[in-house]
Chain A
Amino acid sequence: MDVIIENLPLYWNGFLRTLFLSVVSGIIALVLGTLLAAARVSPVAALRGFSTVYVEVLRNTPLTIAFFFAAIVLPRLGVKFEQFEIAAIIALSAYTAAFIAEAVRSGVNSVALGQAEAARSIGMNFGQVLSLIILPQALRTVIPPLINILIALVKNSSVAGAFFVLELFGYGRQMANANGDQVMTVLLGVAFFYLLITIPLGILASTVERKVAIAR
């Protein structure tokens, strides 16, 4: 236990970095994923095609490759970052957005067709139908899968540790190296701090789900 208490400032730093990476990437991924889902159901074929290709490529390749592209290939192409956090945020949000898009699309498909027909028949355009009628109902039904994806995002952020970003897992590795005799304890501490983010996310999910549930 001493090793955890002695290194509490490091843990805390790592915790804050992980929280920061997760919150920023999570918000970007939610917005981007919803836009991708909207593109997927839009009447414009080019948008549908782009969204499909994006989702299939990002969803079906390892996160490490996304990180590699963001942290190593992008700078070679002339995109320079002040900090590697930016690369981590790009990789995490681009990757997670693909999963969000699929979840939101399944939600869109769960909304009865008659809702869109009724909205169109009072003169709404595609954007209004989607933003006022379909998405508000779709998002309500996909809160549990969305939270699953966000929990996965929090854990995936540990990959950033391998790409020059010191977050919770990165600090954990440093501490494990420095305290070779107490690796188990160090890693249990790391796990505890991850749970500090993911468990409340789960609780938040069920609260939100209950609040926004609509009778049909």
Chain B
Amino acid sequence: MTTHVPGDALVSLNGVNKHYGQLHVLKDIDLHVRKGEVIVVIGPSGSGKSTLCRAINRLETIEGGTISIDGKVLPEEGKELARLRADVGMVFQSFNLFAHKTILENVTLGPIKVKGISKAQADKEAMALLERVGVGHQAPKLPAQLSGGQQQRVAIARALAMKPKVMLFDEPTSALDPEMINEVLDVMIQLAKEGMTMIVVTHEMGFARKAADRVVFMADGQIVEDAKPEEFFTNPQSNRAKDFLSKLLTH
């Protein structure tokens, strides 16, 4: 298991706890992510991995412990929280593109309204991002006119437009048709190669092998294993992980 000094971590979770009623979804989570690291979080459904991901930009509140981004503890609400969220890009399972805005507007809205960048500048940067994820020619369309894979790539561009310090991906390919999964994963792999700090909740083991620096395995609200991908996939330590991997391999 690799350990890091919390001091040099970009994202730091210390003793994070959360309940949904009786259910203890996050149990004493400690996780430290350095700049440029790609962390893939895997685990059976209900293990708390999505909750963990959403807690990092406080879409889920936590009851105990602290989460800090770049040394700053995540505030509970207000302006400070909004500012910190702008530094954390989020990509959702269901894309969540703004349905009433064009593709271009989806990407420029944050920079213009939150960062106060001029429309001309925001348009220019947004077009470059849309080209980069391969949907530049779709700019004037509405989200519903695009395929799922295209929408998800736009969602990645929308998050990148804020120039985030870290990107969170909450099962980004789970809602996609199989033939569209790769176009999204390719964008993510490219992003990882360029040095973006990423926390990715996914079931795509191929992506974990290819792009992850560390694989974090969660079960029952706990981090059970935290290892390099080849270590984790070839020699899992816990029974839970062995069980999980054996179920994956039989299909």
Query: Which residues from chain A sit less than 8 Å from chain B, CB to CB?
Result: 43, 112, 114-115, 117-125, 128, 132-133, 136-137, 140, 214-216
Among candidates B88, B113, B145, residue contacting A121 with C-beta atoms closer than 8 Å: B88
Rounded to whole angstroms, the CA-CA distance of A118 and B83 in the bound complex is 14
Shortest Cβ distance from residue A139 to the other chain B in the assembled complex, whole angstroms? 10
Among candidates A43, A120, A123, A215, residue contacting B83 with C-beta atoms closer than 8 Å: A123
Question: Is B57 an interface position by the 8 A CB rule?
Answer: yes
Cross-chain pairs A/B with CB under 8 angstroms, 20 sampled? A43-B77, A112-B94, A112-B96, A117-B59, A117-B90, A118-B98, A120-B85, A121-B159, A122-B114, A122-B159, A123-B85, A123-B86, A123-B114, A132-B109, A137-B100, A140-B100, A214-B142, A215-B145, A216-B99, A216-B144
Rounded to whole angstroms, the CA-CA distance of A53 and B97 in the bound complex is 35
Given the complex, which residues of B lie within 8 Å of A125, measured CB to CB? 79, 82
Question: Is B214 an interface position by the 8 A CB rule?
Answer: no
Are A123 and B99 in contact, with the CB atoms below 8 A?
A: no
Are A214 and B114 in contact, with the CB atoms below 8 A?
A: no
Number of A-B residue pairs, CB cutoff 8 Å, is 74
Are B144 and A124 in contact, with the CB atoms below 8 A?
A: no
Are B114 and A133 in contact, with the CB atoms below 8 A?
A: no
Shortest Cβ distance from residue A72 to the other chain B in the assembled complex, whole angstroms? 45
Given the complex, which residues of A lie within 8 Å of B57, measured CB to CB? 121
Rounded to whole angstroms, the CA-CA distance of A157 and B210 in the bound complex is 69
Are A122 and B110 in contact, with the CB atoms below 8 A?
A: yes
Shortest Cβ distance from residue B125 to the other chain A in the assembled complex, whole angstroms? 14
From residue 181 to 240 of chain B, which have CB atoms closer than 8 A to chain A? none
Q: A121 with B114: in contact, given A214-B99, A215-B144 (CB under 8 Å)?
A: no
Shortest Cβ distance from residue B168 to the other chain A in the assembled complex, whole angstroms? 8
Rounded to whole angstroms, the CA-CA distance of A117 and B113 in the bound complex is 16
Shortest Cβ distance from residue B146 to the other chain A in the assembled complex, whole angstroms? 11
